[in-house]
Each structure stands twice: as C-alpha cells, then as structure tokens.
Amino acid sequence: MGMRKCYATSLVLISWFLLMPPPVFPPVKSASGDYKMNTTAPISQWLKFKTLKSEQACKAQLKKVQPYFKCVASDNPALVQHAPAPASAPSISTISGAAGAHMQ
C-alpha cells in the first residue's frame, strides 16, 4: 500500500467575517443615543464581530445587525494592515556607519 501525502497548501479554507467599523474617537453619540462609527476607516481597522463558515451565513447575520456592518471573506487582501514606511528613516548603512565611527 502506498502512502498518501497531504499538502496543507492544496486545501484553502475561507471563512467569512461579519465586520463592524471602529467607533469614532473621541466617542460621539448620535441623536438616537448610539455611539457613532467610523465607516470610512480602512477595512483592516474594522472589528471582527463574528466568524462564519459561508457567505450565505454571513449575509443571513447581516440582516440582524446595524446597516453599517459588512461581510468580508477571510482571504480579502484589504484585511491586511500595511504599516506606512517612515518618511525620514535612516538607512542601515548610515546607522552602521555612525555606530562604527562612534566606537573609534
């Protein structure tokens, strides 16, 4: 009998996130008494309210929450937060050169 090989990369499981926007800071209440939400924030900053197994399950839950919630697939690249590069960071060669000159 031959042995079967299992490859983790061949099976990709996608779940769905029911996301809620982050609150506005400083906290501000709307006329209805609810806290205002920052619906213009990037998706990477939204809060995971619930994880579901399918898009259909997520859309069913979407009907039960506030209108600003969103369903997003777990493999959506917008979920990854990219840190901006510092505008004036010194290069590695400058740092090592400065450290070397300081040690002399």
pLDDT tens profile 57-96: 999 999 999 999 999 999 999 998 766 656 665 555 555 5
Residue 21 in contact with residue 46, Cβ under 8 Å? Answer: yes
Q: What is the pLDDT of residue 9?
A: 46
Report the alpha-carbon distance of residue 47 to residue 82 in Å, rounded. 16
What b/e sequence results for 21-31 when a residue is b if at least 16 CB atoms lie within 10 Å of its CB, and e otherwise?
A: beebeeeeeee
- State yes or no: pLDDT of 27 exceeds 90: no
Report the pLDDT averaged over residues 23-27.
89
Residue 62 lies in a domain: yes
Q: How many domains does the chain have?
A: 1
Residue 100 lies in a domain: no
Q: What is the pLDDT of residue 59?
A: 96
Among 27, 83, 18, residue whose Cα is nearest residue 55: 18
Report the alpha-carbon distance of residue 66 to residue 21 in Å, rounded. 11
- Name the pTM for this structure: 0.63
Residue 2 lies in a domain: no
